[in-house]
Structures are given as C-alpha cells and as structure tokens.
Amino acid sequence: MKANYWKRTGTKTLFIQPRLIVVEDDVVLPDGQETKYLRYEGLLDYVTLIPERGNKIALTREYSYPHDEFLWQLPEGSIEAGETPEQAANRELAEEAALSTTDWHMLGMNYGHHRRTTEKDSILVAKDVIDVAKAVGDKEEQGTEVHWFTHEQVRKMMQTGAIVQKNALAALALYLAHSDGHAPS
C-alpha cells in the first residue's frame, strides 16, 4: 500500500549508464520542508539462492573488485525481462555454481537498497541440487568457487564475520530461522 507520505514535485536525471540511472527528486516532507532525494532507477529485481544437498548448503567464494577481497556469498543475480524468479534462479545457479534443480521453494524476500531503489530480492531454496556443466555468466564472475557447509558451519561463519555480504547474511538468517528451509504457512 502506497502511503504518499512524501510528495515528489520534480525529478532530474543526473547520470545514465546501462546498469544504473541516478535521479534526484525534489520532495516535500510531511512537515512541509522541501529537500532533494537521490535514488537509483534501472536496477532489476533479483534472486538470492540457497542450494541444498543433503544436510549441507553451498556458498560461493567470489572476488569483490570494490573491496579487493574474496567474499563468501550465495549465488544471486538479476531477474531478466520475461523471467520468473524460478527461471532466473535456474540460470544463475548454473552460471555461478554449476548446479541445477527442479525443486524450488520461495523462502521470502527483502529490499536490497530500500532507501535508494525499489529493487526486490526474492530468496529461494534449491532442494536436492545436482552438478551440471557451468553455464556462461557475467565475465566478472571468473574464479568463483563452490564450497559445501553444514548449517552449524554457516552459523559459525556468520557469527565470526566470515560472511559479510548483506544479501547472503539476510537470506541465510531467514533460512536458518526456518529449520526446514521453508517459509511458515
């Protein structure tokens, strides 16, 4: 439900690039004050995937250029035009982890950058994944490794700060909150 709590009175495009558009809105706040608000457009909704095999889940170890370090993550990626979250999940799982399944469970969602964009992250559990040939993905995903961990090992990695990527932390917290990996009925 939209509240229309803030009133937009104008919009100016500041930057356009194929992956990102930066705009500045003129807004009137509830108390009548006027301000400028920076937000992003052009970002696609995305999926974060929790691959399961037996009593273990897969994490990927992937290089993060801005941080110049390897991070523990979950497979994730944009939902392309015309794709369902499950279709995007299948594609991303093959591209990033060389895995596949036909047994998907929607666990939940979150807003990735709630103050700057409307993009939404759908969190899916991939049950009983199997190994497949790695699909061609983004060229920036070179060197991605897949490692399998028990739930207890993942909890420990979260507690000790070994996992710091926010999408992985949010998805894993939701996943571990449900012992069977299913959202409540």
Specify whether the CB–CB gap between 175 and 126 falls below 8 A.
Answer: no
Stretch 169-176: mean pLDDT? 95
Place of tokens 């070994």: 162
Cα separation, 151 vs 130, whole angstroms: 19
- Give the C-alpha separation, 95 to 135, whole Å: 4
What is the average pLDDT across 51-66?
Answer: 94
Domain chopping of the chain, boundaries? 7-41, 46-177
In degrees to the nearest 10, what's the CA dihedral of 151, 152, 157, 163? 20
For residues 117-137, give the mean pLDDT: 88
Q: Say yes or no to pLDDT of 29 above 50.
A: yes
**Residue 2 scores a pLDDT above 60:** yes
More reliable by pLDDT, 141 or 175: 175
pLDDT for the residue 185: 45
pLDDT at 183 exceeding the cut of 70: no
Supply the pLDDT for residue 93.
94
Percentage of the chain beyond pLDDT 70 is 91
pLDDT at 180: 58
| pLDDT the model gives residue 46 | 95
Res 151: pLDDT: 94
Q: Which fold has domain 46-177?
A: Nucleoside Triphosphate Pyrophosphohydrolase (3.90.79)
Query: Once rounded to an integer, what is the mean pLDDT over residues 57-80?
Result: 94
How many percent of the chain have pLDDT more than 90?
A: 81
8 A C-beta contact, residue 79 and residue 88 = yes
Q: What is the pLDDT of residue 182?
A: 54
Q: Return mean pLDDT, the chain.
A: 91
pLDDT exceeds 60 at position 25: yes
Average pLDDT over every residue of 172-183: 78
